[in-house]
Amino acid sequence: MVDDALSAAIADLTPQLVAWRRDFHRYPEPGWCEFRTASLVAEELARLGFEVSVGESVLEAASRLGVPDEDTLDGALARARQQGAAEPWLAALAGGMTAVVGVLDSQRPGPTLAFRFDLDALPVVESSTNTHFPRRQGFASVNPAFMHACGHDGHTTIGLGLAHLLGRGALSFAGRIKLIFQPAEEGVRGAASIAAAGVVDDVDYFIAAHLGLGQPQGTLVCGADGFMATTKLDVRLTGQSAHAGGRPQEGRNALLAAAHATIGLHAIGPHGDGVSRLNVGRLTAGQGRNIIADTACLELETRGSSTAINDDMERRAREVIAGAAAMQNVEVDIIRVGAADNCGASPELVTRLADCLETTSLFEHIIRHDTAPIGSEDATSLMARTIAQGGQATYLILGTQLAAGHHHPCFDFDEATLPVAVESLARIVRELTCSS
C-alpha cells in the first residue's frame, strides 16, 4: 500500500523533523532578518532537487512593510554568519530580502500547488524556568531578545519535511509544487511583497497552515475564515520644544497632539457591517518634564472583519491623526508598517480537503469552516491574490497541545504534531494532484 510507504517514510523522517525544529528554535530571527533560517532552507531545498529562488526574484522590495533600519539588518546578517548560515545564499538575502521559494516540477501535467510557511520569530524573551521544555532540552533561544513563540520554527520544519518527501520520491505527484518560505509574518509585513512579486500568479491551489491557534491536539480546521483584515501604523509627530516655565507659547506640543490623537482614535465609532478594532498600543513622547515635548511616536493597529471595514477604520484613523496634529500645529508622518486582508477560504477546496482527510485517522475532529475571530495573518494576501486570478485557497489550523498561549515566553507546542502535519500536507498533495 502506497499509504503505508508514506507513513513509513514519515516515521523515518521524524527525528530529522525534531532536529530541524530545535535548530530553528535555538536561533530565532525576527522579520526581514531571517538570514540564517532562509539560507539553510534554500540550501536544503536545493539539495533536494528543488529549483530555488531567493531575494528579489520572489520579493518586491518596495512592497515590504515594517523593514528594520540598515544597522539592524547588518547586525542580524553578521550574527547569522556566526550562527552557521549557508553563505552562498546570503548575498541575495542581504538587506532584508529573506524570502525563499522552491519549485519541484513533476514533468507530468497537473495543477500548480503552493504551500506557504513562515520563517520569523518574535521580540519575546524566552522563559528561563526549568519547566519550559526548550530550556530543559537545551534548545532554548540563544538570541536573547528573540524567541520562536508562535510556532514558525515548526512551520518551517513542516515545509522542509514536505520538501523531503517530495524531493526523495516518497510522495508522487503530478503538476508542480511550489513551497513558499515567507519572512515577516509577525506584524503582517511580508506576504504583500511576495504577492506583489507574482509568486502565486500561476498557482491553482494555495494552502497555508498554522499550529495551535486555540485548537486542541487531534483537531483540524480546514477553512479558517476568521482572520481579520488589519493595518499597522507608526505615527511620528514633530513639534517645537520650548521652556515650559518661561516661553510656553513658543512650543508646539507633540505630546499633547499624541494624547488627543490617542483618545480620538479610541473614540472612533463601531461599524454597522461587522467587527472593527483599533488599538494604540505604544506611546512615547518628550524629553523632560520642564520642556514642551517636540516629538511623539504612536504605534497602532486597526482591524475589521472585512477588508472594507478595516479600510474604513484606517481612513478614519488617518483623519483623526491629521486633525489632532493640526490642533497643535505639529507635523505628522504616518508609516504603514503592516497590513493584511480578510479572505475567506474557497468552499470547494475546503470540502475537498475535509472529505479527503476524514478518510484518514490523522484527526479525531475535523472542522470545515471556522469563522470565529482569530487575530490577523497575512497569508490572506496570498490567498486573495490566488483567488483573484482564478485559483482556490485555504488556511488550515492544525490543533496541538500548547504549554502557553501564542507570544508567551513559555509558548511551546507538542513536537508529535510535526509528523501529523507533514502527512496531512502530503495527503493534500496527492488529493489535489493525482485524484482526477
Residue closest to 176 by CA, chosen among 224, 113, 121, 95: 113
Does 390 help bind a copy of itself (rule: CB under 8 A)? no
d(CA 320, CA 324): 6
Q: Which three cell numbers stand for residue 392?
A: 482556490
Nearer to a copy of itself by C-beta: 61 or 297?
297
Does 376 help bind a copy of itself (rule: CB under 8 A)? yes
Does 358 help bind a copy of itself (rule: CB under 8 A)? no
Least distance from C-beta 258 to a copy of itself, angstroms?
A: 7
- Does residue 25 come out as left (phi exceeding 0), alpha (psi in the -120 to 50 range) or beta? alpha
d(CA 425, CA 162): 7
Place of cell 478595516: 310
Does 256 help bind a copy of itself (rule: CB under 8 A)? yes
Does 152 help bind a copy of itself (rule: CB under 8 A)? no
- Using CB under 8 A, pick the residue from 47, 168, 247, 365 that binds a copy of itself: 247
The radius of gyration computed from the CA coordinates of the chain, to the nearest angstrom, equals 23
From the CB of residue 272, how many other CB atoms can be counted at a distance below 10 Å? 7
Does 292 help bind a copy of itself (rule: CB under 8 A)? yes
Least distance from C-beta 146 to a copy of itself, angstroms?
A: 14
| Cβ atoms of 49 and 97 closer than 8 Å | no
The SS3 assignment for 364 reads: coil
Does 210 help bind a copy of itself (rule: CB under 8 A)? no
- Using CB under 8 A, pick the residue from 245, 359, 361, 435 that binds a copy of itself: 245
Residue 260-279 contact track with a copy of itself, rule CB under 8 A, x = bound:
x-xxx-xx-xxxxx-xxx-x
Does 290 help bind a copy of itself (rule: CB under 8 A)? yes
The SS3 assignment for 235 reads: strand
| Cβ atoms of 189 and 338 closer than 8 Å | yes
Amino acid letter, 311: D
d(CA 162, CA 145): 30
The count of residues interacting with a copy of itself (CB under 8 A) is: 66
**Interacting residues with a copy of itself between 302 and 341 (CB under 8 A):** 303, 312, 319-320, 322-329
Least distance from C-beta 409 to a copy of itself, angstroms?
A: 13
| Cβ atoms of 92 and 402 closer than 8 Å | no
Does 288 help bind a copy of itself (rule: CB under 8 A)? yes
d(CA 420, CA 398): 9
Q: Which stretch binds a copy of itself (CB under 8 A): 39-47, 69-77, 106-114, 374-382?
A: 374-382
Does 67 help bind a copy of itself (rule: CB under 8 A)? no
Does 221 help bind a copy of itself (rule: CB under 8 A)? no
Chain residues that interact with a copy of itself, rule: CB under 8 A: 228, 230, 232, 243-251, 253, 255-256, 258-260, 262-264, 266-267, 269-273, 275-277, 279-293, 296, 299-301, 303, 312, 319-320, 322-329, 373-376
